[in-house]
Amino acid sequence: MTVRCTLQGDVEVIALDNPPLNSLGLDTRRELVAALEQAQADPDVAAIVLTGSGRAFSAGADLHEFGSPRAGQEPGLAGVIGTMERASKPVVAALHGLALGGGLELAMGCHYRIVAPGTRVALPEVKLGLLPGAGGTQRLPRAIGVGPALDLMVRGEQVAAEALVGIPEQKLFDQLARGADTVLDEAVALARSASRRHAAGAPLPRLRDLPCGHPQGDAYFQSARDAVRAANRNFPAPLQCVDAVESATREPFDVGLAHERERFVDLMRTPQSLALRHAFMAERSARKIPDVAPDTAQRTIAKVAVIGAGTMGGGIAMNFLNAGIPVVMLESSQQALDRGLATLRRNYEAQVGKGKLEPTRYAQRMALLTPTLGYADVADADLVIEAVFEDLGVKEQVFRQLDAVMKPGAILASNTSTLDLNTIAAFTRRPQDVVGMHFFSPANVMKLLEVVRGGGTGRDVLATVMAVGGRIGKICVVSGVCDGFIGNRMIEQYTRQAGFLIDEGCTPDQVDKAIEAFGFAMGPFRMGDLAGNDIGWAIRKRRAIEKPGVRFSKTADLLCAMGRFGQKTGAGWYDYAPGKRDAVPSRLVLDMIERHRAELGLTPRPIDDEEIVQRLVYALVNEAARILDEKIASRPSDIDMVYLAGYGFPLHRGGPLHYADGVGLSNVAKAMERFAQNPHDDAGFWQPAPLLRRLLAGHATFASLND
């Protein structure tokens, strides 16, 4: 049972009891209607209280049900709410913890609502590409006013109940309870007094009966629509919220409700909603590691050490300081330490300057930081993260030192991007304690953390690092050991295709614009100029020694030979006016490209945007299929998460593999076969990966491999 009923005198208390957050799946909905009908029929019951057991009133719909036949089965949530609203006995909702989405809509169908202080309230449906579909768009504007209601729906963020209680003349909450521990008793008392008033002839208040309007009428909705459209270019749901709320102001309640329903059903089928729901589930799935039990005992992480205070070390340290975890930061020289500290301070001061960080908080964070030049100061850290130069010799020196000084049980992590974690682990006598923590730059901003599992990494170490990643606000995805791990191994193929496109006839600007129109924040060439083209140059030079068979377009090397490293040198794939970041196509670069084509004997051909996008995105897909086959990633949705959280893949497309499923894998494979015939390109790469071929043969999708 997911609903429990107890009689308190003449008040029936119906408690949602569906841990962890009382989601409103089909069983719960059925039991709720049965409980309501029984309370209605029971002559000993004068009034009803609806509450939630455990941590929350209700976090809303059961997302696992979305798209399944259960979602469509009666009673739907709107039906449950209708039953409650029509009840002839007063129904009081007692809210605590969370009242989100369908949970809040359920409460709005009750006659009265009492809320515990600190309750978090939201209509977050837009985050899944939807709008509130159980009356929320019609009842909330009547309860708190059109402007505040629309704001809540369009942003989808949680707010404290107190903020809504403070809205003048709001009708959402009848009472703010004294405390979370008294809210139920206060609700029972409210129910009793309501039943007395009702018995004396007072009608039961219903939000649906309240008037709804905005004093500025059309003008308000016009400007709301403009603002919402501008802020949500790729997502239709927020604009649909505006339309639905406008209906609430113009149409009778039941007509508005019917329109809301139609809009909800339409949105449910949009690719954007499918993508957002996929991303939501992917983020949760990524926390699960197939052979690491969720209850694996974790190590305590109360103190962290960071080795190296460069670009990455400083950002990594900030993550922990922001989460209130003390950090010791070690450098090899006083000068480097001072430089690292100055950068870290500058970053915080910029946040203070923008009003994003309170000066007192800045001081608290800095007080948690201990700079040092001596290993004795890091020895008692629970977790040490190495972020020194990307050079195996330097890493060896550091890890041998750490092995010698760190207390037993300390976790030794490396932020290496390209070196073999197993080789690094072998520098120590404790490979079970060694793990990769691959942060992305800027490390204090980027959400993605690839947790790299070495051959010997302990399960408890993995579980601990995943949890610590969560504490510092990262989205953690586990990757096995391979060159580039999940993200960079795939991006290399994307970048290679970008280079070949240039050789074959594109300009950098054409490639960038095509993929930006697809939805990437920045195309590969603008990105190269931002990050520094010399980084890839150094990697390719090393590659030429290690992996002589891998071909790249030579244009990137020729660019670097011209000293055009990107924005930092004022010139890269594009020209930059001094102090400006606007990328201006460069005649010099276009001439260099043309000379190179002539040397290759390639006649440039017209290449359309569709081919550009397919070559770049399907290169990601094919490499991802190999990564899955090699068990470097646990599931396709982990790869999508890496790309959404770390590489700017457009969220409304749900990640490369979700996108490929949507295009149809047979279409993807056909395009790959076409590209494989390109005589200039690296034909071997375009053979569809074995996993892709197996999926095609079984008429299956990448999604079928998700859990």
Nearer to ligand NAD, 311 or 322 (CB): 311
Nearer to ligand NAD, 129 or 313 (CB): 313
Residue 398 CB, shortest distance to ligand NAD, in Å, is: 5
Nearer to ligand NAD, 392 or 676 (CB): 392
Residue 121 CB, shortest distance to ligand NAD, in Å, is: 39
Cα distances (Å, whole numbers) of residue 14 to 37, 57, 105, 471, 551: 11, 11, 17, 35, 67
Nearer to ligand NAD, 42 or 483 (CB): 483
Q: Which of 436, 460, 439 is nearest to 449 (CA)?
A: 439
Are 231 and 238 in contact, with CB atoms under 8 Å apart?
yes
Residues that bind ligand NAD (CB under 6 A): 307-313, 330-332, 336, 340, 387-390, 394, 397-398, 415-417, 439-441
Q: Rounded to whole angstroms, how far apart are CA atoms 663 and 471?
A: 36
Q: Rounded to whole angstroms, how far apart are CA atoms 621 and 149?
A: 41
Residue 254 tokens read as 């039941």
Are 114 and 99 in contact, with CB atoms under 8 Å apart?
no
What does DSSP assign to residue 525? H
Longest dimension (CA), the chain: 95
Q: Which of 563, 254, 229, 524 is nearest to 243 (CA)?
A: 229
Are 309 and 340 in contact, with CB atoms under 8 Å apart?
yes
Q: Rounded to whole angstroms, how far apart are CA atoms 232 and 155?
A: 10
Pairing verdict, β 112-115 and 98-100: unpaired
Q: Which residues contact 217 (CB under 8 A, 6 or more apart)?
A: 249
Q: Find residue 304's DSSP bridge partners.
A: 327, 383
Helix (H) or strand (E) holding 369: strand 369-372
In 3-state terms, what secondary structure has residue 27? helix
Beta-sheet strands, E only, within 378-441: 383-386, 411-414, 434-439
Residues with catalytic annotation? 105, 125
Are 337 and 295 in contact, with CB atoms under 8 Å apart?
no
Residue 480 CB, shortest distance to ligand NAD, in Å, is: 17
Are 635 and 244 in contact, with CB atoms under 8 Å apart?
no
**Residue 255 is which amino acid?**
V
What count of other Cβ atoms lies within 10 Å of the Cβ of residue 174? 19
